[in-house]
Amino acid sequence: MAAGPDLDTILKDAHLPALMAALVHVTGDKAWLKSEWTPTYNPLARDDIGIPEAEQAKVREAAKAAILAHLEGKPIQLRDPDPATLRRMIDFVAGAPIPESYADFLTDELALAGKSSKDPQFDQPKLQAAARKLKVLVIGAGMSGLLAGIRLSQAGVPFEIVDKNADVGGTWYENTYPGCRVDNSNHMYSYSFEPNHFWPQHFSTQPVLLSYFRGIAEKYDLRKHIRFETFVDEVAWDEARNVWRARLRGKDGKIETVEANAVISAVGQLNRPKFPDLEGLGSFEGPAFHSAEWRHDVELTGKRVAVIGTGASAYQFVPEIAPDVAELKVFQRTPPWGLPVPHYHEDVAEGKKWLLEHVPFYDKWYRFWLFWMVTDGFLPMVKSDPAWNGGPRAVGPENAMLREMVEQSFAAQLADRPDLLPKITPDYPIGGKRAVLDNGVWLAALKRRNVELITDKIARIDPKGVVTADGVLHEVDVLIYGTGFQASNFLSFLKVKGRGGRELHDEWGGDARAYLGVTIPGYPNLFLTYGPNTNIVVNGSIIFFSECAIRYIVGCLKLLAETGASAMEPKREVHDAFNAKVDQANEGWAWGSPHVSSWYKNAFGRVSQNWPFELIDYWRATLAPNPDDYVLERTPETVA
HSE-CB of 166 using CA atoms within 13 angstroms: 1
CB 160 within 8 A of CB 227: yes
User: Dihedral sign, CA of 467, 472, 477, 478?
Assistant: negative
What DSSP line would sit under 548-587, residue for residue? HHHHHHHHHHHHHHHHT-SEEEE-HHHHHHHHHHHHHHHT
**Confidence band for 509, pLDDT divided at 50, 70 and 90:** very high
- pLDDT level of residue 639 (50, 70, 90 thresholds): very low
| pLDDT tens by residue, 280-316 | 999 999 999 999 999 999 999 999 999 999 999 999 9
d(CA 579, CA 26): 47
Those residues whose C-beta lies under 8 Å from the C-beta of residue 159, and which sit 6 or more positions away, are 135, 136, 137, 138, 148, 149, 152, 153, 225
Taking the C-alpha atoms of residue 576 and residue 629, their distance in angstroms, rounded to an integer, is 12
Q: Could you read off the pLDDT of 12-31 as tens digits, one per residue?
A: 999 999 999 999 999 999 99
At 636 the pLDDT is 61
Largest CA distance in the chain: 81
β-strand pairing of 243-250 with 567-570:
unpaired
Residue type, position 546, single letter: S
Residue-wise pLDDT for 219-268, tens only, equals 999 999 999 999 999 999 999 999 999 999 999 999 999 999 999 999 98
Q: What does DSSP assign to residue 595?
A: T
Quick one: residue 477, left, alpha or beta (phi over 0 = left, psi -120 to 50 = alpha)? Answer: alpha
Checking DSSP bridges between strand 451-454 and strand 327-331, what pairing results, if any? parallel
Distances (CA, A) of 160 to 43, 75, 228: 43, 43, 11
Q: Which domains does the chain have, with CATH numbers?
A: 7-117+350-375 (no CATH), 125-272+487-638 (3.50.50.60), 288-343+389-481 (3.50.50.60)
